[in-house]
Chains A and B, each alone.
Chain A
Amino acid sequence: MSASAGLLEPSASVGGCADAPVLRERGQREVFCGLTGIVWLHRKMQDAFFLVVGSRTCAHLIQSAAGVMIFAEPRFATAIMEEKDLAGLTDTNDELDRVVDRLLARRPDIKLLFLVGSCPSEVIKLDLSRAAGRLSEKHSPNVRVLNYSGSGIETTFTQGEDACLAALVPQMAAAPANAEQTLLIVGALPDVVEDQFRRLFAAMGIQRVEALPARRISDLPSVGPNTRFLLAQPFLGDTARALEDRGAVRLDALFPFGAEGTTDWLHAAAVAFGVDEMTFRTVVAPGRERATRALEKVRARLEGKSIFFFPDSQLEVPLARFLSRELGMIPLEVGTPYLHRTHLAKELPLLPSSTRLSEGQDVDRQLDRCRDARPDLSVCGLGLANPLEMEGLTTKWSIELVFSPVHGFDQAADLAELFARPMNRRDRLSDAIVPARPSRREVVACN
């Protein structure tokens, strides 16, 4: 324990943000809905298909978020509800069956089909869980059909992954009470990162390591009282609860960002699996050393710089912790769409107590605060990034943090570089071409 405790020295301000007041606002939220999770989830789950039951808006959102990926015959689509579906002229369930039959006939390689609920389907109370049950029976044993909601009224961005994984939990086989203790990594990680973690656990002697989601439905792990799980992502509240309901035990840890976070995360497993401290230190030392050395180079560019997080993915708190402790940045405001205190219990005390925490959003007021604060870097969505740049504020667009490999020792410097690059660019470009803040009319004219 003491090895990682060495890293967790109390910050200058005792207690950090553990008991800090949280600014909660209600107003316009400039965030994605949970449907967006499909864009990365379908890359991870190789025999799954995601069928959104929604409107043209839903289809348009996914194609906007997926960019060019949409053309590689991706494993997602939208069943667009039309006037006749809403007016009761056709039986929506019959229509859905027809669409699913057509889809599965076209894609015989699909083993797992998710019916993904949207705002329109939730508002008209289309019972997708019953539909999933019915279709599962019909297409058994070739295809399992499950359901979750990625609607904007219920989920924000990465919460779509939470809802999806929570829907998978009841599908996991029950591990007997006397089964050997297994370690479950929860959260869709890029394969390269997942493999790195598996190698580290194997080197510590933890042999039985599984992942949720699995790459294929046939590899879906079992779960039981002897399952110990580590959350790789901070946005998995419902999934964690579903696993706990089946007897699994969550290992409390920092999230694996940076040398410190990754060490603590690995250490939680080491302790739970009785790995001795010497072995643990020997195993993590090379990776931690590499991460620390690589971060040192980026630190010079980030140290002392202030940063402002708009809410997006729930990654904000752990990232602010990493940037503040390992790179010397100063978090001014850390906004998150949802603050899960239990899962962030180790993170919050490590944030400087001067940090303003905010949960939820009133985007216009938050923009006012950001303009007043004039941070060196603002982390925000693509709807805000260019407008803030035009006002002379340097930004880092946040979705990239969800799509890129950023966890673990060997991605720590890549993660830091994502924040350093916009500032590096700002410094490189000649001051002579910095656009003056234009009036709205000029903005229109220049477009």
Chain B
Amino acid sequence: MQLTVWTYEGPPHVGAMRIATAMTGLHYVLHAPQGDTYADLLFTMIERRGARPPVTYTTFRARDLGTDTAELFKTAVIDAHARFQPQAMIVGASCTAELIQDDPAGMALAIGLPIPVIPLELPSYQKKENWGAAETFRQLVRSLTKVVERTPMESRRPSCNILGPTALGFRHRDDVVEITRLLERIGVDINVTAPLGATPADIVRMGAADFNVVLYPEIAGEAALQLQKMCGQPSVKTVPIGYGATLDFIHEVCALTGLDPAPVLEGVPSRMPWWSRSVDSTYLTGKRVFVFGDATHVIAAARVASEELGFEVVGMGCYNREFAREVRAAAASLGLTALITDDYLEVEDAIAALQPELVLGSQMERHIAKRLRIPCAVISAPFHVQDHPARYSPQMGFEGANVLFDTWVHPLVMGLEEHLLHMFRDDFEFSDEAGASHLGGHGAGSARPDQSSESVASTEIALVSSEIVWAADAEAELKKIPFFVRGKARKNTERFAAEHGMATIGVETLYDAKSHYSR
């Protein structure tokens, strides 16, 4: 048993729902108890979808247990087919139905519907959401895609499939738009984009493309391997997040197709390189940043942070173990050890210990950073409703690079503003209680550390503080240090005091520690 409060990923059937909801003409019949329909609201609320997910649940109850649940399942399949008239259907069990062993696959096939019915085996007690999405997409390709003869690429415009965007994907909607435009400008036609916006009929004709673009390896990696095996299609594996990665992506596509990259690279395809070189960005140099999320976004973000913004990546990791190897390699190249965990308390401990100046992470890290009063930007799922924005905001391609610059630098600029407010807070115009902030209630005035929170980190800090006493003048001096480095200064000073056997921290201790750690 694993003790959990927060989970980065849902169960695998939610991954299957993400595929079904991304597509049209596909219906999912899920053998599940009453209550599992909660997952619908992830799509209707976080993504604000104006239609119910194409999922029928059997919603069995205690009194149905026994042979009755099998009957319920058959009725649900027949009714769903009659009502929604899908081109194809996927069927499977959620965690509880997995335990009652009704065999959805056998039952669905026995009904003999006139459409393809694809059974899914999603082991709920071993696997998670991303795996469920990847497996569902792979099964769709394996069952539906037809192998077709292709004419040689030289005689025509090459074409590709874009693989991986789903419902509930972090910025998938706009990434697809950005990469579609980019590929068309390079001179590549898009055969099928899937799962997002595709129909089962589209999946059938995926074999006609020359190659595949894998936008999100977590979701499309397995399907791309399947297509390579069945249809001999190679994959473009560079994930075009960041300016450098977008250039690499263009070169990889051009190498594969024999097209000339020069026209696409002409002019000023992205403002990001100049923005980052302008003198206003100098203060970004060496900013200590912690990166956490899904593997793909973390690897990309670490590269952008270190090579394109001049930050220092001080910690990185991911929650999806399937891609631990890739993240470990990327971390090693920056001289770091990757943190591979799906326990948010471990992530919180790591952030508290490192006291970075910026956190790039998921919704979860946003809240950890808020608690620790560190600026933060969201780079990965899981995300909340505000990170499915109305405006165009891709992460990928040249416009994506612009978006990354603005999004990541914004909390830091605001941090500087807040610093200025602090510096002048003894001015008659700036009362200590005033302080406006972007951090929602965590600004200068209202920025009391959350009294009710009993986080591991704050408990630890409290423990250290109870052993070593801060003199009033030192405490006052500490408050003059900008809030976003204050936590680190406090920790360092206490460690310094402890190492030197001091019981009281004075102003001198503060500066001794500063000088000690700056070496």
Which residues of chain A have a CB within 8 Å of any CB of chain B? 27-36, 53, 55-57, 59-61, 63-65, 68, 70-74, 76-83, 85-86, 92, 95-96, 98-99, 102-103, 119-120, 122-124, 151-154, 156, 364, 381-387, 389-390, 435, 438, 440-441, 443-447
Contact = CB atoms under 8 A, between A and B. Distances in A.
Given A56-B9, A386-B48, A447-B173, 7 more contacts: A57-B13, A65-B38, A82-B126, A85-B125, A123-B96, A383-B38, A447-B47
Contacts of B483: none
Given A28-B59, A60-B7, A383 B50 contact: no
A83 B126 contact: yes
Contacts of B197: 441, 444-445
B167 to A, nearest CB: 7
B95 interface: yes
Given A80-B2, A85-B1, A73 B453 contact: yes
B124 interface: yes
B76 A28 contact: yes
A390 B50 contact: yes
Contacts of A32: 35, 38
A122 B41 contact: no
A438 B2 CA distance: 44
Given A72-B453, A389-B50, A441-B24, A29 B62 contact: no
Contacts, number: 211
A387 B123 contact: no
Nearest to A109: B454
B49 A447 contact: yes
B50 A387 contact: yes
Given A386-B48, A386-B50, A57 B454 contact: no
B1 A33 contact: no
Contacts of A444: 22-24, 51, 196-197
- Grouping DSSP codes into helix (H, G, I), strand (E, B) and loop, the A interface class, with mixed when no group exceeds half, is helix
Given A83-B123, A383-B52, A387-B49, A59 B4 contact: yes
B125 A86 contact: yes
Shortest 4 CB-CB contacts between residues of A and residues of B = A33-B35, A152-B35, A390-B50, A383-B40
B274 interface: no
A120 B5 contact: no
Interface in B69-103: 76, 79, 83, 94-96, 99-100
A447 B48 contact: yes
A77 B343 CA distance: 13
A120 B125 CA distance: 10
26 contacts: A33-B33, A33-B35, A34-B35, A56-B124, A60-B7, A60-B39, A61-B38, A63-B6, A64-B39, A68-B384, A71-B364, A71-B367, A71-B368, A80-B4, A83-B123, A102-B3, A151-B35, A153-B34, A153-B61, A154-B62, A381-B41, A383-B37, A383-B41, A385-B44, A387-B49, A445-B197
Contact of A28 (B44, B58, B94, B196): B58
A215 to B, nearest CB: 15
Contact of B7 (A63, A76, A86): A63
B260 to A, nearest CB: 32
A60 B11 contact: yes
Given A61-B38, A65-B38, A95-B1, A82 B454 contact: no
Contacts of A447: 47-50, 167, 173
A443 B50 contact: yes
Contacts of B364: 71
Given A119-B35, A447-B49, A382 B95 contact: no
A122 B44 contact: no
B96 A153 contact: yes
Contacts of B368: 71
B125 A83 contact: yes
A153 B453 contact: no
B450 A30 contact: no
Contacts of A446: 50
A443 B37 contact: no
A59 B125 CA distance: 13
A391 to B, nearest CB: 8
A35 to B, nearest CB: 7
A40 to B, nearest CB: 16
Of the listed residues B11, B47, B60, the one surrounded by the most CB atoms of chain A closer than 10 A to its CB is: B11
Interface in B210-227: none
Contacts of B65: 123, 153
A96 B1 contact: yes
A124 B101 CA distance: 12
B57 interface: yes
A65 B42 CA distance: 10
Interface in B155-210: 167, 173, 196-197
A100 to B, nearest CB: 9
Given A28-B58, A445-B197, A35 B35 contact: yes
B367 A68 contact: yes
Best-surrounded residue of A28, A53, A384, A445 (most CB of chain B within 10 A): A28
B17 to A, nearest CB: 12
B5 A28 contact: no
B252 interface: no
B14 interface: yes
A29 B94 CA distance: 16
Nearest to A153: B62
A77 B5 contact: yes
Contacts of B59: 27-29, 152
A441 B24 CA distance: 6
A382 B11 contact: no
A119 B11 contact: no
Given A56-B10, A82-B2, A72 B125 contact: no
A400 B40 CA distance: 17
A56 B33 contact: no
Given A64-B38, A81-B125, A55 B47 contact: no
Contacts of B99: 86, 120, 123-124
Contacts of A85: 1, 125
Interface hub of B47, B49, B100, B455 (most chain A Cβ within 10 A): B49
Contacts of A92: 1
Given A31-B34, A55-B96, A386 B24 contact: no
A304 B24 CA distance: 39
A308 to B, nearest CB: 17
A33 B39 CA distance: 12
A121 to B, nearest CB: 10
B128 interface: yes
Contacts of A123: 65, 96, 99-100
B475 interface: no
Nearest to B99: A123
A56 to B, nearest CB: 4
B85 to A, nearest CB: 11
| Residue of A36, A81, A447 contacting most chain B CB atoms (<10 Å) | A447
